[in-house]
Amino acid sequence: MPQLNKALLVGALVAVAGSAFLVAFTFFKKGGYSEKESYVVHAFFTDATGLTWKSRVQIAGIQVGEVDKITLEGQRARLDLRVKNGIDLKADACLTKVFPSALLPDALLEVSLGAEGSPSLASLPREQREVKCVREGASTQKLIASMSKIAADVQVVTAELTRMVGDQRGSMREIIENIANLTRRLDETVSANSGKLSRLLSNAEAISADVRDLTGSEKERIREIVRNTEAVSRELRQVLASAQAVMDGGSGGAGVTAPDTGAGTVAGVGGGTGSQPGPSGGAGPAGAPTGGDARGVKQAVERANDSLARLDTLLAKLQEGDSVAGKLLSDKRLGNKVGEAIETYANYADSVNRMQVEVRLRSEWLLNQTAAKTYFGIRLVPRPDKYYIFEVVSDPRGVDTVTTNTTTTHDPTQPPPDTTTVATTSTHEQKLTYSLQMAKRYGPVAFRVGVIESSGGVGSDLHLFDDRLQVSVSVYQFSRPFQGVFPRAKVWVNWSFLQHFHVTAGSDDFLNQWRSGRYPGGPKFSLGADVFFGGGIFFTDDDLKTLIGMGAASMVTPAVK
């Protein structure tokens, strides 16, 4: 162990131990009970059990002092108590010994300060600072003594009770004897009339059996009778109501012309039957509603019959399977197909409803290229862990393609082999490219594969901070027309803000060195690492979702057919 390390380690150990000691010293120091910070009072107890050196002295559960010393003076225990200077004990203060736990033998002293006008103990000479009011908590011995007294009292009570019950002249005994006489007489009465009682009970039993038989065997009839009675009473109620209405109508008509002697009532009734017109014009209006009701009922019955006849015809047709509905009901296969189609539509509608369609427009300014690259597309998110990207890209670098033409020339005048000419043409075009990618997401990481800018490619996205930050990398254009060139790799970061906007920065084609030039006699080209920054906008579009839904629905429909 080198000298420095030894010193360092020893120093560290001593520092740790010293710090621990200081913390312990501070933590466990009970301030307030030194000579300066406290004053001493004393009290005498006949029993100091449970109190020891350092026992708590408290007011309302808060420690204000401690027992300093316990000594024996004669038959009593003298307790010297240290009380904090701030606690002003008066001459009439009281100390109560309390056992906070019924199981533990430790006691403490609860102190009450004393009356305000009394002199302070602290101001008295030390030997006169006695707390004279001392109350001792209930010790076990005291409890036992109290229990002994209670037991003696209980014994007296039980003896008196015994005497009351046992004594010939005692009221308890008399009551018991009366009850015994009463029960004896009741028993005698029952014995003397046992025959009559038996017959009474037999009759009652027979009656109840008859009633049971009746209600059991004729139960249905009784119910029918009850139902009929209900129906009769209902009809009766209706008849009475009609009669009341007729009578009301008759009396209304009579009220105009006939005197109020009951003639109106007779006329009303006569008008109702139509056989005996009354002397007044009240009979006509009173009889009219009854005829109308009858006609209405007849028409209703006719209409019902007509409807039932039509329904009968319809059911017959359905059963024969003549119509479309009949086919649906009678052809099980067709029914199943229709069911599946409906289910497919429902699932599809559900998925379309859940799918998010995100329209995205992004533009990047390439620093070396000094031109902007723009993307426009949509992102379909059918599930949170899957999405599809369709994009149209305008790249200022253009699209480089290599075309190889192989020409085989056959000259009949020459013997084989034929002449083969291979011509490779590199083309640079300024045209739009497209991307079509499928992405699968696992937690914060998504992997993409598909066509990127009209070339096969793969990519990955890392979504962070609730998808507000996206770190992406794409590799594509694995076969490029230039010699010794790596595939095109792009890495960028998107930071979304204000819900629909994002800023972007990254590096394009960073695997290759930047270079630019011009094809011999052709257009300019550029290649290699470039740094870009830019921004974009994206939003979810429900209208587009509807359009996609309609398009897809038109594709599904033929499948059902």
Partner 1 sequence: MEGNATIPVKRAIFRAMNRLKAALEDFGSMIFFALEALAWAFRPPFRLGLILSQMAFIGVGSVFIVGVTGTFSGMVLALQGNYAMKQFAAEGYVGGSVALALARELAPVLTALMVTGRAGSAIATELGTMRVTEQIDAMDSMAVNPIQYLVVPRVIASILMFPALTMLFNVLGYMGAYVMGVYVAKIPVGPFIEHTRTFLVPADVVHGLWKAVLFGAVVSVITCWRGYSASGGSRGVGEGTTRAVVSSSIGILVVDYALTLFSVGS
Which residues of this chain interact with partner 1, rule CB under 8 A? 1, 3, 6-7, 9-10, 12-14, 16-18, 20-21, 24-25, 27-30, 101, 103-104
What is the nearest approach in angstroms of partner 1 to the Cβ of residue 163? 46
Would you say 24 or 143 has its CB closer to partner 1? 24
Quote the tokens at residue 441: 């997401």
What is the nearest approach in angstroms of partner 1 to the Cβ of residue 22? 10
Phi, psi of 509 (to 5 degrees): 55, 45
- Give strand pairing partners of 494: 470, 504
What is the nearest approach in angstroms of partner 1 to the Cβ of residue 11? 9
What is the nearest approach in angstroms of partner 1 to the Cβ of residue 37? 15
- How many whole angstroms separate alpha carbon 37 and alpha carbon 382? 78
Inter-CA distances, 235 with 231, 238, 290, 373, Å: 6, 5, 16, 91
What is the nearest approach in angstroms of partner 1 to the Cβ of residue 173? 51
Could you identify the residue written with the tokens 């009734």?
269
Would you say 7 or 553 has its CB closer to partner 1? 7
DSSP letter assigned to residue 102? S
Would you say 27 or 442 has its CB closer to partner 1? 27
What is the nearest approach in angstroms of partner 1 to the Cβ of residue 103? 5
User: What is the DSSP pairing of strand 456-464 with strand 445-451?
Assistant: antiparallel
Closest by alpha carbon to 396, among 527, 268, 488, 485?
527
DSSP 498-535: TTTEEEEEEEESTTS--EEEE-TTS-EEEES-EEEEEE
Would you say 29 or 333 has its CB closer to partner 1? 29
Would you say 60 or 103 has its CB closer to partner 1? 103
Could you identify the residue written with the tokens 């011999």?
520
DSSP 186-234: HHHHHHHTHHHHHHHHHHHHHHHHHHHHHHHHTHHHHHHHHHHHHHHHH
What is the nearest approach in angstroms of partner 1 to the Cβ of residue 111? 18
Using the Cα atoms of residue 167, residue 171, residue 176 and residue 179 in order, give the sign of their dihedral. positive
What is the nearest approach in angstroms of partner 1 to the Cβ of residue 32? 13
What is the nearest approach in angstroms of partner 1 to the Cβ of residue 349? 55
What is the nearest approach in angstroms of partner 1 to the Cβ of residue 30? 6
Long-range CB contact pairs, 162-165, < 8 A, 24+: none
Tell me if 97 sits within 8 A of 129, measured CB to CB: no
Q: Which contiguous run of DSSP H or E holds residue 148?
A: helix 140-166
Would you say 62 or 324 has its CB closer to partner 1? 62
DSSP letter assigned to residue 54? T
DSSP 250-284: HHHHHHHHS-SSSHHHHHHHHHHHTSS--SSTTHH
Would you say 12 or 243 has its CB closer to partner 1? 12
Would you say 66 or 509 has its CB closer to partner 1? 66
User: What is the DSSP pairing of strand 433-442 with strand 386-394?
Assistant: antiparallel
- How many whole angstroms separate alpha carbon 192 and alpha carbon 184? 13
- Let me know if 194 is exposed, middle or buried by CB neighbors in 10 A (0-12, 13-18, 19+): exposed
Would you say 106 or 230 has its CB closer to partner 1? 106
- How many whole angstroms separate alpha carbon 319 and alpha carbon 329? 8
Closest by alpha carbon to 516, among 529, 505, 506?
529
Q: Which residues contact 257 (CB under 8 A, 6 or more apart)?
A: 280, 281, 282
CA atoms within 13 A on the CB side of 250: 26
Would you say 6 or 221 has its CB closer to partner 1? 6
Would you say 10 or 236 has its CB closer to partner 1? 10
Would you say 9 or 225 has its CB closer to partner 1? 9
What is the nearest approach in angstroms of partner 1 to the Cβ of residue 40? 19
What is the nearest approach in angstroms of partner 1 to the Cβ of residue 65? 14
What is the nearest approach in angstroms of partner 1 to the Cβ of residue 23? 9
Would you say 34 or 46 has its CB closer to partner 1? 34
